[in-house]
Amino acid sequence: MAPAGRPGAKKGILERLESGEVVIGDGSFLITLEKRGYVKAGLWTPEAVIEHPDAVRQLHMEFLRAGSNVMQTFTFSASEDNMESKWEDVNAAACDLAREVAGKGASIVGVNCRFGPDTSLKTMELMKEGLEWAGLKAHLMVQPLGFHAPDCGKEGFVDLPEYPFGLESRVATRWDIQKYAREAYNLGVRYIGGCCGFEPYHIRAIAEELAPERGFLPPASEKHGSWGSGLDMHTKPWIRARARREYWENLLPASGRPFCPSLSKPDF
């Protein structure tokens, strides 16, 4: 595999996308900083930028080390409920929206937050069809949740009973994210990142999956062998046997909670 590093010259996002590069976004700020004790759930305001700049800076650095090419400003404010399109309209709206946005000269179109990787990729497929149908060209971007939420309602994961303090059993594994990155790439998406629940190791999984195409690994891969290869040094033979792609690719993780359902009923 290619050595860790970054492409040389500083280039803008559009310049990179125009030249066919993959741009890796960053991940979760509010949800992650809430778990770390710097954001209060409810209003979800980002005063940590002023109160605890070191905590915000540290998270930015973790995403950078994991392979993010983009540092988004942490400026989310209280009015989250009006920000996203409704799920029941997605089918029709994906086409309209892509056309509308691209028609206004947008260079990058895509979806962010509220839905898991699978749903977000399905939406991207519709957007892509919409763009093609309308004869428009735009770069595609996708930044889903780092949670599996196929059972959520039209407003997305906020309507799940586990939101926001009990979502842990839904966290995507790094292997889920490798699969997501590959599918996004195959769909033609070249700006690939994540939103709520998307931790630095998820970003690293994108960078690792696409290392053959991009030609390099992120700095954080110094501590991570491809597909669990580092486990071949383990003292236990049954754990050494997990140092292979087929093992992790086919794993069905248990929740560890005997009475847990695999899906929930959204509250709304």
Site of interaction with Zn ion (CB under 5 A) = 113, 195-196
For the chain, the distance separating the N- and C-terminal CA atoms, rounded to the nearest angstrom, is 47
Closest by CA to 4, choosing from 178, 214, 193, 189, is 214
Spatial CB neighbours of 83, under 8 Å, sequence gap ≥ 6: 113
Q: Which is nearer to Zn ion, 113 or 131 (CB)?
A: 113
69-85 burial, b at 16+ Cβ within 10 Å, e below that, comes to beebebebeeeeeeebb
Q: Which is nearer to Zn ion, 202 or 214 (CB)?
A: 202
Cβ of residue 150: shortest distance to Zn ion, in angstroms? Answer: 17
Q: Which is nearer to Zn ion, 77 or 250 (CB)?
A: 77
Dist. CA 127–CA 108, nearest whole Å: 12
Q: Which is nearer to Zn ion, 83 or 239 (CB)?
A: 83
Q: Which is nearer to Zn ion, 181 or 196 (CB)?
A: 196
Residue keyed to tokens 């206004």: 104
- Burial (0-12, 13-18, 19+ Cβ within 10 Å), 136: middle
Q: Which is nearer to Zn ion, 127 or 195 (CB)?
A: 195
- Burial (0-12, 13-18, 19+ Cβ within 10 Å), 137: exposed
7 C-beta neighbours (distance < 10 Å), count: 13
Q: Which is nearer to Zn ion, 31 or 126 (CB)?
A: 31
Token pair, residue 233, equals 């040094």
Cβ of residue 157: shortest distance to Zn ion, in angstroms? Answer: 9
Query: Which long-range contacts (C-beta less than 8 Å, at least 24 apart) are formed by 17-22?
Result: 17/107, 17/108, 17/139, 17/190, 17/191, 20/190, 21/190, 21/214, 22/185, 22/190, 22/191, 22/192, 22/210, 22/213, 22/214
